[in-house]
Amino acid sequence: MNITSRVPIGPVGVITPWNTPFMLSTWKIAPALAAGCTVVHKPAESSPLTARLLIEIAEEAGLPAGVLNTVNGFGEVAGKALCEHPKIRAIAFVGESRTGSLITKQGADTLKRNHLELGGKNPVIVFDDADLERALDAVIFMIYSINGERCTSSSRLLIQDSIREEFEAKLVERVKNIKVGHPLDPSTEVGPLINEEHFNKVTGYFDIAKQDKATIAVGGEAIGNEGYFVKPTLFTGADNAMRIAQEEIFGPVLTSIPFSTEEEALEIANDTLYGLTGYVWTNDLTRALRFTDKLEAGMIWVNSENVRHLPTPFGGVKASGIGRDGGDWSFEFYMEQKHIGFATGQHKISRLGVQ
């Protein structure tokens, strides 16, 4: 008789980013606790308040002391200590690909298990047989909502030649009308970027686009002298070799790239270090199945924006990460599989060395 069971892996470290900080923390912490692990959580230094709120909620709900712990600090100090600590058996991290590489190195001496949900330069591919109005809505939503500060944003628009001019013209008009303002104003559609460092990074790509000889069709500049407000931006006349098409900007910035054939679209879509998500717009089901089968991404939506069915696996390939969140996929990470074999009946056992 053979039995396979699961046991908690032990204390785990959870390192979360500043974008959607409360949601991403719960995605990691809840399954870890459900698996029977204790957690040390290091939130991003730019978003400590939601982590504090989560601790208060957990304590009020009756979670025993020491089960969920929060350590604030910078990644170079607090994060590094967590990754190197011998009693931490696994690290669940959401953030930049470069940081994911450092975490892997820091945990190597203690053979830590790593779950890394990293960056993306995600394509949205619009074919000429798509529902263009729905595709337009989705393209705009998936890059300009949440200020473009999310890993699953579709920051590369791959648009078929035959509809490019019409689609880009409508896109320009819509992007011009996006309302930038105070984040607590209900009419605001895009708010400020997280901090000065990130603001400087995003706005730095405006000069890079000009150097690459791309066209700034909309935006490409900051708003005012107070706060970190940036005009929603659209780059056109781009190709996939440009930095604006290869590097994760992580702001309200979209790069439009034309293609002529399905084969060319697939080549452009896969020509990146990343492989987190992809979005495909076509009314040809056979094409959709063929294309998504070859698209190098951990998650793909057809004729949809990012609509999560939570039990499904969430994660990327290539430089976009290792491992999956969601449903039973989370327990694969936070638990060890244990096998027990029982001899039953008159099972014969070899008796070596008996005279």
59 catalytic residue (yes or no) = no
Q: Identify the burial level of 260 via C-beta atoms within 10 angstroms of its C-beta, where 0-12 means exposed, 13-18 middle and 19 or more buried.
A: exposed
Active-site residue identified among 83, 117, 149, 248: 117
Distances in Å between the Cα of 206 and the Cα atoms of 202, 213, 232, 285, 315 are 8, 11, 12, 38, 30
* AA letter at 237: G
**In sequence order, which residues have a C-beta less than 8 Å from that of residue 318 and are 6 or more positions away?**
272, 273, 274, 275, 296
Cα separation, 325 vs 288, whole angstroms? 25
Beta-ladder partners of 259: 160
* Token duo for residue 261: 């054939």
**Three-state DSSP class for 55?**
helix
151 catalytic residue (yes or no) = yes
Nearest in space to 192 (alpha carbons), one of 207, 202, 204, 177: 202
Cα separation, 64 vs 50, whole angstroms? 20
What beta strand segments (E) does 238-343 contain? 253-259, 277-281, 299-302, 321-322, 335-341
Q: Exposure pattern of 188-216 as b/e (b: 16+ CB <10 Å)?
A: ebbbbbbeeebbeebbebbeebeebebeb
Active-site residue identified among 151, 168, 248, 305: 151
Cα separation, 244 vs 121, whole angstroms? 10
Catalytically active residues are 117, 151
